[in-house]
Amino acid sequence: MKLAVAIAPVIALFFADSAFALAARKPTPTDATPTVTSKLQPRQASCPSTTKFQFFGVNESGAEFGQNVIPGAEGTDYTWPSPSSIDYFVDAGFNTFRVPFLMERLSPPASGLAGSFDSAYLQSLKNTVSYITGKGAYAVIDPHNYMRYNGQIITSTSDFQTWWTNLASQFVSDSRVVFDVQNEPYGIDAGDVFDLNQAAIEGIRASGAADQLILVEGTSWTGAWTWTTSGNSDVFGSIQDPSNNTAIEMHQYLDSDGSGTSGTCVSSTIGAERLAAATTWLQENGLKGFLGEMGAGSNDACISAVQGALCSMQQSGVWVGFTWWAAGPWWGDYFQSIEPPDGAAIARILPEALVPFL
């Protein structure tokens, strides 16, 4: 759950409905990232496991910025990942990039979810995806809307299914595209979120995308630490995919409220502790897990906590993927940024907490 990220200078951005409000902030645009190709040297983390993640990478954030400016202007209100950033991580051994974007920019509210896509925004998304997959990596396309559209909770499974059929059809021939159904639903009954995810799976498979991985997310910001208490564990064990290639995506931050807004972790062991119940649930239900977001501060306690989380995941036999939050060209000095060449978390998080698990 990312209730807010503090970056100076900032612009306040808001999603809102009658009962809930979610604030996010984006930094001021910075200059384009230069090409960086130096090889990272891992600093060994102790984990007695030889099992590696099938998918390991980072969120390339930017196209979801400016959420209160629709459609907004590229380069002013939002941006797309830098090719040089993708090159840097591929060179380091990362193979997965989660690409957040806004549904309202892709599907203008005047046309609705079942209407036609904005051709320019769609082309930019496709260009980003094709660059990633052309490097031999996986591109996770992520509608970063919290199960909201045009300021309202999405309730129509039919419209949502149609939207996903239309979007998946754009990527049906690219086996390295992963479909992330919806980022961090919140304030919605777990059963309703389940129904929307199930409709999306059916829509994606109906498009002809028969084999690509699908990621489904639960309510309560799809938190791993609340998975068994939020209602998610009661319903998501029944998820159905005719291709049997769906994983449960969860997110987990390590600060006191699990929001990811503080660089102070609860303890050096909180990572594995907050994943433990969700891991057991995945094992008991014979399901795969994907940790789509984790972030923490660049200090000894947090690095140990991230290492512990990743080690426990590799040892579990059920977690297939992980993407760090975040990279992206506009993060500035955001404490969790590993955007090259000088993101605030590059110096320690990257070599100490992430690279050892490649």
User: In the Cβ-directed half-sphere of 142, how many Cα atoms lie within 13 Å?
Assistant: 26
Burial class (CB in 10 A: 0-12, 13-18, 19+), 150: middle
> How far, CA to CA in Å, does 84 sit from each of 92, 108, 191, 334?
12, 30, 41, 19
The set of residues, in sequence order, having a beta carbon less than 8 Å from that of 264 and lying 6+ positions away, is: 255, 256, 297, 299, 301, 302
Q: Are strands 21-27 and 10-16 parallel, antiparallel or unpaired?
A: antiparallel
| 8 A C-beta contact, residue 339 and residue 86 | no
Nearest alpha-carbon partner for 200 in 292, 278, 103: 103
Amino acid occupying residue 340: P
Question: 231: which 2 tokens?
Answer: 């209602």
| 8 A C-beta contact, residue 63 and residue 109 | no
The angle subtended at Cα 174 by Cα 215 and Cα 90, nearest 5°, is 80
Cα 115 from chain centroid (whole Å): 25
DSSP reduced 3-state for 63: strand
Active site residues: 184, 293
